Amino acid sequence: TLIQDQGAILVDTGTPASFDEYRRRFAALQLAPQDLRLIVITHGHTDHFCYAAELRKFTGASVLCHPLAAPALRSGQYPPVQPRNELGESVRRMIAGKTPQARQSLEPDLLVDDAFDLAFYGVRGKIFATPGHSPCSLSVLLDSGEAIVGDLVVSSPFTGQATLAYFADDPPRLFDSVRHLLQSAHTFYCGHGGPFSAAEVTAALAAG
């Protein structure tokens, strides 16, 4: 997710793409590569930081993650996940043997495990630790009421509806993190599916 305010930051980098593809996308957005100042990695699952090393080299942007995500960035390996329900078990079977690996290992520039103001990067908002899906999960909450939450909330691959993360190392903390964001956020942008309204996320929270 690209956030453009007075400055520009990128939240997660997705799976690998060619430099030509990045050049095309930057050009379409009328964004010079050097204008991207920060890459935020929401958590240490490789589908969220593949190509981060190459993108940092391309743009010169700093890479930020939670301290507990740093080992995954350094190894480039997808860590074990913990299904919290039957949906999670189904998805784990679906992705078995298909999880990506990062092309290059990466040493992050910034480690954040508490509230972090993005004003220095020209963005009106903050980064918060939102554990539950993983112990290293971060979310970006903009002053506008928009939240970029990684996999804290996702789309069900079977119904398309909002659901809380079906992989969770700590389900009670997952629920608490979502409740915390719902106090300020009206729209949730997710790594898989969405965006979802606060009403949709509230319904997903109630459904468990």
**pLDDT tens, position by position, 79-134:** 888 999 998 898 888 888 777 777 678 999 999 999 999 999 999 999 999 999 99
Q: Can you give the pLDDT at residue 100? A: 73
The tens digit of pLDDT for each residue in 34-93 reads: 999 999 999 999 889 988 998 999 899 999 999 999 999 999 888 888 999 998 898 888
167 three-state secondary structure: strand
- d(Cα 5, Cα 45) in Å, to the nearest integer? 27
Q: How many helices (H) and strands (E) does the chain have?
A: 6, 13
37 three-state secondary structure: strand
Q: Can you give the pLDDT at residue 105? A: 83
- d(Cα 115, Cα 63) in Å, to the nearest integer? 16
Question: Which H/E stretch holds residue 65?
Answer: strand 62-65
- d(Cα 152, Cα 164) in Å, to the nearest integer? 6
Entry pTM = 0.94
30 three-state secondary structure: coil
> 47 with 73: CB under 8 angstroms?
no
Taken as a whole, the chain contains a residue count of: 208
7 three-state secondary structure: coil
Least confident of 13-17, 150-154, 158-162, 165-169: 13-17
